[in-house]
Each structure stands twice: as structure tokens, then as C-alpha cells.
Amino acid sequence: MSDHLKLSNQVCFPIYNLSKEVINHYRPILKELDLTYSQYLVMLVLWEKGEQNVSEIGADLNLDSGTLTPLLKRLEQKKLIERNRKKSDERVVSISLTKEGIKKQEQAEGIPSKIQESLNVTTEELQDLKRIIDQIITQINK
Amino acid sequence: MSDHLKLSNQVCFPIYNLSKEVINHYRPILKELDLTYSQYLVMLVLWEKGEQNVSEIGADLNLDSGTLTPLLKRLEQKKLIERNRKKSDERVVSISLTKEGIKKQEQAEGIPSKIQESLNVTTEELQDLKRIIDQIITQINK
DNA sequence: CACAATTAAGTTGTGTGCAATTTAATTTTG
DNA sequence: CAAAATTAAATTGCACACAACTTAATTGTG
């Protein structure tokens, strides 16, 4: 067969694989906080930026309302966030952290270092990877 | 807040993002072949290696039977593969390509170049990325 | 001002991805 | 050889991820 359809020559495949592998390393660590990886990403946005609209969170994480609405309802059920329609524009749903949600950040502080340890890679390797990926993502979005 | 929980400092996030972005570029191209990305990966394995057990495909793609069984049933419904229990060991399900499945490879030949064009990146950038990712995956699996 | 166009979220449906369990077949071991 | 252990798929349940569509609110325009 022609080489360019060989799995080992696909670039897409290592990316897809690494992404799954990394998320699999997060799973047991995040389970202690009762969060999935996507839920953790939403919490990161809220911890960093505070109150945000659904669409603002979606813009940061590249997720649409079809993904976010049920996910945010689960975070609401866990009492980590509140969902409130804006008085000024009833179409907009504003997401804010509860006290419990704010407190969760303390538990999350140790996660990045735990992940790095779990992945068994150096900070430099990760920075290299991040730099190249950021470059390619910029390239793609041109 | 402490910097290491900032979204922009997460390494995991660009990987996850790039993976989704790349798969999103595959989507319209694979739609012409009536395949999803995961189904395409399975077809790549079968085109390259021929008849394979479910668990062999799973080993190549890092997918378990919970993911593969329904996916393979969908490929079977599309008449691209056949699923047969082995006579020598009735636990094992052997996956083989139908004539139609073999023929599909011709339609797939153009995909890698279409993807590269769609992603708007150079072969070198992709090779760089692949090399670093392969290195990190090796590191992780140590 | 009325109506068309746009926007934000939500809903529906499909297809992964993975944990946990089940079922059935095969292999190991006492 | 029979019971226990192992193995391969399948099943069940949950949580994304995204396309396509719907609903409701707001904005733009004649």
C-alpha cells in the first residue's frame, strides 16, 4: 500500500493519542475533586476570570452550548457554580462560582505538579511541546 | 491567583485543543467517505494489516472493546467490514474488509494531502510536531 | 413602530471514550 | 479431570463533542 496511509505516518494520530493519554492521566487525580477534565477546564476559566457568560466560556475553551449547557448543569448540581439569566439581556446566562466552587481552587493547586509527575516528563519537554503546538494552532487559524 | 492554574499555562489544554481542531478538519473530508475519524483509524489499520482481531485493533489504536464493538458494528452496517468469530477460539472476533471496504482505500488516498492543505501547515512543522509527540509518548510509557 | 435578522442558550440526535460489569470460551492448576 | 483463573468481547452507564435545529430575546432597518 502507499505509505501515506500508513498509521505510523499519520500526524493526526499521535496528537489524538497524546490528548487521550494526557486526559487519562488527569482522570484519577481529578476524581479526588469529583471533576471531569472538561469540568476542570471550566473551573480554571472561572477561577481565573470570575463570572462569565456561557458563550465567553465557550470562546475560551472552544466548546459550544451543546456541550456546555449540560456540563454546566452538572457543575450546578454539585453546587460549584450558579447559573443566572442576566437582567440586562435575558438571552445571556451568567455563570458564577459558589463559595464551594471558590474553595475548590485550594484543592486544585497541586494538580499541575501531580500531572507532570504522573506524565514523567520534564518541564522543558512540556514547554517545547506547548510552544510548537501554540505555533501550529496559530498557523491553522490564519 | 497562582499562575500554575492559569489556563494559558496549562500544557494539557493546547494538546486537547489541537486534537479537537485537527479532528474537526478531518470531519468534512471524511464525510465524503461516510466515515468518522475513529472509523477512519480502524480502516487505516485494516488496509495496512488486513484481517485483525478486535483486541489487535484496540492495541494499535488504544481503544477498548467498549468503544470498538459499537464502532465496528457501524462499519459492518455500512458493509465495509465483516465480523466473524474464530473457529479456533470462539472468544475472538476477527474483523476483515469486504470488497467495498478494500475499494474505499482508493477514495482515501487523497486524504493526507487534503488535511495538510486544510491545516495550512508545512510538512516540516508536522514532522517536528510528530517527533516531539512521539518522544513524549515514549517518555510517558516508560 | 413593525418586522426581519441576529444572537444566546437550550434541545435533540449521533458517535465516541472509558469504567465497571457480564458472558462465554479457554487455559491453568490442584 | 474438575474447579478456579484468565481472557476476549459485549454490555451498561455516564460524560463529552459536535451538527442541526429550536426557542426566546434583542437589534437593525425600512
Evaluate whether B57 touches B51 at the Cβ level (below 8 Å).
Answer: no
Share of chain A above pLDDT 70, in %: 99
Q: Do B11 and A130 touch (CB under 8 A)?
A: yes
pTM across the whole model: 0.95
Q: How wide is the angle at C-alpha A30 spanned by C-alphas B36 and B2, nearest 5°?
A: 115
Q: Looking at the complex, report in whole angstroms how far the Cα of residue A70 sits from the nearest Cα belonging to chain B.
A: 19
pLDDT of the residue at A79: 98
Give the count of beta carbons closer than 10 Å to the beta carbon of residue B40: 21
Give yes or no for residue A1 having a pLDDT over 70: no
Q: Do A16 and B7 touch (CB under 8 A)?
A: no
Please report the sign of the dihedral spanned by the C-alpha atoms of residue B100, residue B102, residue B103, residue B108. positive
pLDDT of the residue at B58: 98
Question: Does residue B101 or residue B141 have the better pLDDT?
Answer: B101
pLDDT tens figures, A73-88: 999 999 999 999 999 9
* Across B29-53, average pLDDT: 98
Nearest to B60 among A7, A23, A129 (CB): A7
pLDDT tens figures, A22-70: 999 999 999 999 999 999 999 999 999 999 999 999 999 999 999 999 9
pLDDT tens figures, B47-96: 999 999 999 999 999 999 999 999 999 999 999 999 999 999 999 999 99
